[in-house]
Amino acid sequence: MMLKVLYDHQAFDMQMYGGVSNRAVQLISNLPNDIEVRFGVKKSQNIHLLESHMGNFKVPLLSNFERLLNGKHYFGKNVLHYYLQMYLQKMNRRYSKDLLKSGYYDIFHPTFFDWYFVNYLQSKPFVLTIHDLTAELYFSQDDQQVKARKLLMGKAAHIVVNSKYTYNQVVDYYNVSESKISVVYCGAPEHINFSKQKCFEFDYLLYVGDRCTSYKNFIPMLNNIRDFLLCHKNIKLLCTGKPFSQEEISIMSKMGIFNCVLHQNCTQSELFNLYSNALCFIYPSLNEGFGMPILEAFSVNCPVFLSRRSCFPEIAADAAVYFELDNKSGNLSEKLEEFLKWDAPQKESLLKRQRERLRCFSWKESAIRLSNIYQSICE
């Protein structure tokens, strides 16, 4: 029997690209043929959705305007994008509500935590994905996301999480029954397309993604590797994500390493090129639900350095170099010094373990697991 699953717009409106929307797209696009999918999305700027070939979600006006200007910056660009985003959110929210009211679905799966849909479900079950409990651990209990999760977890037919680490957190923190929650891992990157050309004339350590929240542990990492960077003038720290804030620039200047730390904007294919040419990828975060950059680095033979925290040992197992790091102490610098002295067999041993570990994560297998959850709810 064909099972009809409805997904809404939330993740695709709040992100142009990112882990939450990418995970949703990858799982949905790999679901078995006996699952019929509908999206509460008319048009979107989300890169993952646009590249998925699951529908025509392009915004014609924006696409034509950007093509005319050949990707250049122009006066009022941010304002245009802001108002376009607001317009798309309203349009997609209205469309999601219309689909909910139609009742043409067996299961609803919201892509984030706005509870607007609760009054439109008509007794239909919904599945909730919890990516991590970072908001509960690091933000106020008055945080809107925390309130929403608490409400929705009580009403959901089933809860899906990214890792056993998050599974245990949810069970302990919210006292959720173990039978109501399942682990569905993320999958390894597929169809990677990048140039493999050398990026820079210098060697670099790679840091990927957000830096502005405390649990990302970015400033303690800088403190710990300051002497390493000053000692090895030919090695830089390269960061992707948002440009450096004035606070970050001030901190790096006071440390005397402003010229040792660089920022790089990049597309998805350019990111994989950065991974493939890096000395190593460093992930110092204190709390993650899964850590997709680990698999991204694995997929292009980039040595991975991880803090021994949260889900990282579960995801990487023995296929990473682990370090300890907090505000007061850490041994990342020492681990990097040791790494520079590794011979070719030592490096190849690590990369071999990474390639073997990568085979443990498949979007297709995870999508089948998600499909089985849907089927069990409707039995």
CATH of residue 130: 3.40.50.2000
Euclidean distance between the first and the last CA atom of the chain, given in angstroms as a whole number: 11
Give the per-residue pLDDT at 199: 78
Residue 334: both structure tokens together: 């020492």
Residue with tokens 């720290």: 237
Cβ pair 63, 76 in contact under 8 A: no
Average pLDDT across the chain, whole number:
91
What secondary structure letter does DSSP report for 201? S
Closest CA to 268 of 1, 44, 17: 17
Residue 148 lies in a domain: yes
Q: Are residues 169 and 213 in the same domain?
A: no
Q: What is the mean pLDDT of residues 222-250?
A: 95
Residue 72 lies in a domain: yes
pTM score > 0.85 for this model? yes
Higher pLDDT, 194 or 48: 48
Cα radius of gyration rounded to whole Å, the chain? 22
Q: What is the mean pLDDT of residues 342-364?
A: 98
In whole angstroms, what is the distance from residue 125 CA to residue 127 CA? Answer: 7
Q: Are residues 180 and 207 in the same domain?
A: no
Sign of CA dihedral 240, 244, 247, 251: positive
In whole angstroms, what is the distance from residue 117 CA to residue 126 CA? Answer: 10
pLDDT at 72 over 70: no
Q: Are residues 352 and 235 in the same domain?
A: yes
In whole angstroms, what is the distance from residue 78 CA to residue 74 CA? Answer: 9
Range of the domain at 48: 3-187+362-378
Cβ pair 176, 159 in contact under 8 A: yes
E-strand spans in 162-260? 181-183, 203-207, 235-239
In whole angstroms, what is the distance from residue 312 CA to residue 320 CA? Answer: 9
Q: Are residues 28 and 157 in the same domain?
A: yes
Q: What is the mean pLDDT of residues 298-310?
A: 97
Residue with tokens 């493999």: 196
pLDDT at 322 over 80: yes
Residue 138 lies in a domain: yes
In whole angstroms, what is the distance from residue 322 CA to residue 315 CA? Answer: 12
- In this predicted model, what pLDDT tens digit does every residue of 48-67 receive, in sequence order? 898 888 988 988 655 444 44
Residue 198 lies in a domain: no
Q: Are residues 229 and 366 in the same domain?
A: no
Q: What is the mean pLDDT of residues 129-134?
A: 95
